[in-house]
Amino acid sequence: MHAMAFDLSIPSHLFHAYLPDLILMGGGMLLLLWAVWRPESDAHARSTGWAAIGVAVLALVAVIWEWQVGFTAMNGPIAVDPFRWATDAVVLVGTMMTLAIAMDFNGRMKMPTAEAHVLVLLSASGMMLVAAARDLMVLFLGIELMSVSVYVLSGIDRRSARGAEASLKYFLLGAFSSAFLLYGIAMVYGATGSTNLVTIGEQFATPAVATQPIMVIGLALLLVGFAFKIAAAPFHMWTPDVYDGAPAPYSGFMACAVKAASFAALVRVCLEAVGPGSERWHLALWWLAALTMVVGNLFALQQRNVKRMISYSSIAHAGFLLVAVTAQTTEGAAAIIFYLVAYTLATLGAFAVVVALNEGKDGATDIGDYSGLWTVRPGLAMAMAVFMLALLGFPLVGGMGFFAKWYVLQAALKAPAPQTKLSIVLVLATVVSAGFYLYVVMVMFMRPRPEGASVPPGASGTLKFVIAASVAGILFFGLYPSPAVKLAQQAAAASFVPAASRVVAAPAANASP
Amino acid sequence: MRGLLQSLHYAQWILPVLLLLPMLGAAVIWIAARPAEHEDDREYGESQISRDIAIGVLLLEFVLSMGLWWAFDPAQPGWQMVVDFPWLAEWGSRFTVAVDGISLMMVLLTTFLMPIAVLGGWTSVRHKLRTYYALFLALETGILATFLATDLLLFYVAWEIMLVPIYFIIGIWGGERRIYASIKFFIYTLIGSLMMLVAIVVLWRYTGGTTFAYDAIMAAAPRTGPAALWLFGAFFLAFAIKVPIFPFHTWLPDAHVEAPTAGSVILAGVLLKMGTYGFLRFAVPLFPDVVMIPWVRDGVLTLAIIGILYGALVALVQTDIKKLVAYSSVSHLGFVMLGIFAFDEKSVLGAQMVGISHGVSSGALFLLVGMIYERAHTRQIAAYGGIARAVPMFSAALALVAMSSIGLPGTNGFIGEFLVLIGTYNVFPYIAGAATIGVVLGAAYLLWALQRIIFNPLSNPENSTLSDLNRREVAVMGVIAVTIIWLGVAPAGVLDRLRPASAALVERVHGGAAAPAPMPAAPAAPGGR
Cα torsion angle, B111, B115, B120, B122, sign: positive
B274 Cα to chain A: minimum distance (Å): 18
Cβ partners under 8 Å of residue B295, min gap 6: none
Report the distance separating Cα A177 and Cα A185, nearest Å: 12
| Residues A357 and A370 sit within 8 Å (Cβ to Cβ) | yes
The domain spans of chain A are 4-505
Cα–Cα distance between A92 and A389 in angstroms, integer? Answer: 24
Distance from CA of B295 to the nearest CA of A (A): 24
Partner A contacted by B524 (CB < 8 A): yes
Residue A499 confidence (pLDDT)? 53
Q: In angstroms, what CA-CA distances link B130 with A402, B30, B52, B61?
A: 28, 6, 11, 19
At A287-319, the pLDDT tens digits run 999 999 999 999 999 998 999 999 999 999 999
- Does A434 contact chain B (CB < 8 Å)? yes
B468 touches A at CB < 8 Å = no
- What number of CA atoms fall less than 13 Å from residue B154's CA on the CB side? 27
Sign of the torsion angle spanned by Cα atoms A130, A136, A138, A141: positive
A464 touches chain B (CB under 8 A): no
Between B168, B204, B529, which is nearest A286 by CB?
B529
Find chain A residues with C-beta within 8 A of B178's C-beta. 446
On whether any CB of chain A is under 8 Å from the CB of B31, the answer is: no
Q: Is the Cβ pair B182, A446 closer than 8 Å?
A: yes
Q: State which residues of chain B have pLDDT below 50.
A: 36-44, 513-529
A11 by Cβ neighbours in 10 Å (0-12 / 13-18 / 19+) ranks as exposed
List the one residue out of A73, A61, A62 whose CA is nearest residue A133.
A73
pLDDT at residue A414 in the model: 86
Question: Are A320 and A408 within 8 A, CB to CB?
Answer: yes
Q: Which range marks the domain in which residue B456 is found?
A: 295-510
- Element holding B158 (H helix, E strand): helix B152-161
Which of A417, A431, A489 faces B187 most closely, judged by CB atoms? A431
Q: Is residue B108 part of a domain?
A: no
Instruction: Write out residues 269-298 of A within 8 Å (CB-CB) of B.
Output: 282, 286
Q: Which of A113, A145, A150 is nearest to A36 (CA)?
A: A113
Beta carbons of B172 and A446 less than 8 Å apart? yes
pLDDT at position A442 is 92
Residue A133 backbone phi and psi in degrees, to 5: -60, 130
Distances (CA, A) of A146 to A253, B218, B517: 11, 51, 55
Do B485 and B411 form a contact (C-beta atoms < 8 A)?
yes
B526 in A contact zone (CB under 8 Å): yes
User: Cα–Cα distance between A358 and A306 in angstroms, integer?
Assistant: 12
How far apart are alpha carbons A12 and B319 in whole angstroms? 85
- As a whole number of angstroms, the distance between CA B340 and CA B334 comes to 10
Looking at residue A264, its pLDDT comes to: 94
H/E stretch holding A5 reads strand A4-6
Q: Are A174 and A144 in contact (CB under 8 A)?
A: no
Instruction: Write out chain A residues lying below 8 Å of B171, CB-based.
Output: 442, 445-446
In a domain, B304, yes or no: yes
The answer to whether residue B496 is domain-embedded is yes
Of B171, B186, B201, the CB nearest to A434: B186
Cα separation of B438 and B432, whole Å? 10
Q: Which residues pair with B152 in a beta bridge?
A: none
Rounded to whole angstroms, the Cα distance separating B322 from B319 reads 9
pLDDT of residue A348: 95
* B168 and A CB contact within 8 Å: yes
pLDDT number for residue B46: 52
Least CA distance to B206: which residue of chain A? Answer: A414
Q: Residue A235, SS3?
A: coil
Tell me the count of A-B CB pairs closer than 8 A: 100
For residues B331 and B338, give the distance between their C-alpha atoms in angstroms, rounded to a whole number.
Answer: 11
B127: closest chain A residue by CA:
A375
CB nearest B205 (choices: A375, A414, A439): A414
**Residues of B with Cβ-Cβ distance to A439 under 8 angstroms:** 183
Looking at beta carbons, which residues of chain B come within 8 Å of A446?
Answer: 171-172, 178-179, 182
A208 Cα to chain B: minimum distance (Å): 25
- CB-CB under 8 Å, B197 with A418: no
B245 located within any domain: no
User: Does A410 sit within 8 Å of B201, measured CB to CB?
Assistant: yes
Interface contact flag, B168 A409, Cβ < 8 Å: no
A420 and B526 in contact by Cβ < 8 A? yes
Amino acid at A259: K
Cα end-to-end span (Å), chain B: 59
Q: Which of A395, A414, A416 is closest, CB to CB, to B161? A: A395
Record: contact A420-B161, CB cut-off 8 A? no
Residue A296 to residue A289: CA distance in whole angstroms: 10
Q: Is the CB of A442 inside 8 Å of chain B's CB atoms?
A: yes
CB-based contact (8 Å) between A371 and chain B? no
Which residue of chain B has the CA closest to A479?
B87
The pTM assigned to this predicted structure is 0.92
| Chain A residues whose beta carbon lies within 8 Å of the beta carbon of residue B198 | 409, 413, 420, 423-424, 427
Q: Give the B window 179-218 contacts with A, CB below 8 Å.
A: 179, 182-183, 186-187, 190-191, 194-195, 197-198, 201-202, 204-205, 209
Nearest to A266 by CA among A174, A140, A131: A131
B321 lies in some domain = yes
Q: Which residues of chain A have pLDDT under 50?
A: 1-2, 500-513
- The alpha-carbon gap from A371 to the nearest alpha carbon of chain B, in Å, equals 13
- What integer pLDDT is reported at residue B51 of this predicted model? 86
Query: Which ranges in B280-381 belong to alpha helices (H)?
Result: 284-286, 288-291, 294-316, 321-342, 345-376
Q: Do A446 and B160 touch (CB under 8 A)?
A: no
B172 shares contact with chain A (CB less than 8 Å): yes
pLDDT attached to residue A451 = 83
In a domain, B47, yes or no: no
Closest Cα of chain B to A512: distance in Å?
11
Pick the residue from chain A with its C-alpha nearest to B159: A395
| Contact between A413 and B202 using a beta-carbon 8 Å cutoff | yes
Residue ranges of E strands in B90-187:
93-99
Q: How far is B218 from chain A (nearest CA, A)?
A: 19
Nearest CA in chain A to B170: A446
Tally of domains within chain B = 1
Q: How far is CA B158 from CA A494, B144, B148, in A?
A: 34, 8, 9
CA gap B302, B307 in Å, rounded: 8
Are the beta carbons of A320 and A293 closer than 8 angstroms?
yes
